[in-house]
Amino acid sequence: MSKKSKQTINSNLSSEFYVASLLFRAGYVATITFGNTKQVDIITYDPKTKKKVTIDVKGLKNTTNWVMPKKLVRDKHHFYILVTFKNKFNNFNLAPEFYVVPAFDVKKLRRSWTGRKDVKGIPYKLIKNQEKYKGENGLKLLFEKN
């Protein structure tokens, strides 16, 4: 396995565990699913509302683009959580930034990758100022009445 592959796996797994930790801290129950080719990384349950949502976590060590799957999950109970370590992956004194994006919002945020029209991603520069998705505001989207 190449060093780049290990770094990608490390940032993705780190992101999944980070998100699970946030969800537990927010009072939800979170179960991480394991595997390499999956669309659901975390299943989350709200004990107060008895509702369940699924989450696909995308981790990023830097501030470029989160690569998005070609086939998106289209379900009102599915979310993509985008985590960036902002080029500080090994700095344990800094918390990563994260954005919670409902599945139905992803299509309007995706852009073609420069030089690769077959790859689409969500650019950090596009989402970084969208407060409705960022941090605690984003977490509130998970169990909003829909």
Q: Map out the domains of the chain as residue ranges.
A: 3-141
pTM above 0.85, yes or no: yes
CA 114 to chain centre: 21
Taking alpha carbons only, the member of 83, 62, 13, 11 closest to residue 41 is 13
Cα-Cα end-to-end distance for the chain: 43
Class of domain 3-141: alpha beta
CA distance 6 to 47: 36
Quick one: pLDDT band at residue 33, thresholds 50, 70, 90? very high
Rounded mean pLDDT of the chain? 90
Task: Map residue 90 onto helix, strand or coil.
Answer: coil
More confidently predicted of 138 and 144: 138
